[in-house]
Structure 1
Amino acid sequence: MIVSGREEMSATPSPEAIRQLRLRYQLAVDAAKTYYNNGFSVVIQDNYYGLELSHVVDLLQGYPVREIVLCPTVKVLKERELSRGKTGYANFSIESLYLEFMARTPRIGFWLDTSDLTPEESVNEILNYYAVNNNDPFDAGL
């Protein structure tokens, strides 16, 4: 979204790159809260690595939240990257990013390996997970 003055993320991001990332997260949270406060169910989707997942959940304190983490295998990530119209991993290797993500991201919420699932099957798995646990993900509102 930032064009002029954009700092790209890297394995060793600059303070400005981190500031811009946090700004993106804050804007998403602010929009989600506004929609929720106006009666909508909301889904926030982004890549929240490491403690950033907890940071975003903290920004949503006081709002009902269901964390869902989609985590396909490295092999599938590579295949999907090849079929994309843009490059999502320009400054990272998929392997190193995946290992860092798995090692540093808190295990909160529902984690789903979507490697062998279509988007529709992924949605069904999420809904089934919450049905089994007597917890409607859409009752959370966010």
Structure 2
Amino acid sequence: MAHHETLPGCLLITGTPGAGKTTVSRLVAERLPRAAQVDGDVFGLMLMSGRANMLDERGRWNPGPEGQRQLRLRMVNLCSVADNFAAAGFTPVADSVVETREELDFIAGRLHARPLMLVVLCPPLEVARHRNATRAVETRVDYDVAPLARNQRRELGGLGWWLDSGDQTPEETADLIVAEAARRAVVHRALPSPG
């Protein structure tokens, strides 16, 4: 495995379910000399009881107030763990669904590691749907990701690096991110500094 120069700060990889976030973030972390994968889903799975249902009665993504509170807690934990790794000299490579500008601002406001690099994996929807449908049942989502993809585009449009990974292997995508993220993914605009 070729090791590249290190990436400063924190790399945040987002996209819809099926975009390849978790696979690519693991491969990116493996390619850096000192890095840790911080999988946002893990913080939701840690809730052994009382976990909110994020889908409405028609099976659409629609977390209610308790679901929103738990998603926020997930982001708090993601930022704390990423910062702990960064403080110890490891590049945190975080992956999580970030749908709105408000969520990104919240993460940027809590995260001390700088720069914040945002990579939005945006393969064509049919590719993301196929990847989702063919993965292990425990990691599969059962709702249509199209509304989330549209909202992500509307909310996060000019921010970070939008990477269409539809024609690439996860390894090719990871190599590209390691080579280009420091140049293409840094989020500068209107990021609050951590308080």
TM range (shorter): 0.7 to 0.9
- Provide the aligned length of Structure 1 versus Structure 2: 134
Q: 1:121: how far off?
A: 0.8
Larger deviation: 55-64 or 68-77? 55-64
* Structure 2: 5+ residue stretches without partners: 1-44, 56-60, 187-195
The letter of the residue matching 1:109 is: G
Between Structure 1 and Structure 2, the one with more strand by share is: 2
Asked if 1:3 corresponds to 2:54, the answer is no
Q: What is the aligned partner in structure 2 of residue 113 from structure 1?
A: 164
- CA RMSD in angstroms, aligned pairs only: 2.3
% identical equivalent positions: 31
Q: What is the aligned partner in structure 2 of residue 41 from structure 1?
A: 91
Q: What is the aligned partner in structure 1 of residue 64 from structure 2?
A: 14
Deviations 1:17-37 (A, max 9, x none): 011001111101101111111
Would the alpha carbon gap of residues 61 and 40 (structure 1) be closer, same or farther in structure 2, given more than 3 Å must change?
closer
Q: 1:14: how far off?
A: 1.0
Aligned 1:1-142 pairs, distance under 5 A: 1=45, 2-10=47-55, 11-51=61-101, 52-61=103-112, 63-86=114-137, 88-90=140-142, 92-130=143-181, 133=183
Would the alpha carbon gap of residues 31 and 13 (structure 1) be closer, same or farther in structure 2, given more than 3 Å must change?
same
TM-score by length of 1: 0.81
TM-score by length of 2: 0.61
Q: 1:80: how far off?
A: 0.3
Q: 1:42: how far off?
A: 1.3
Match of 1:67, SS? strand
Deviations 1:100-141 (A, max 9, x none): 22222353111101111111111222234347x4x898xxxx
Distance in 2 of aligned mates of 1:50 and 1:123: 24
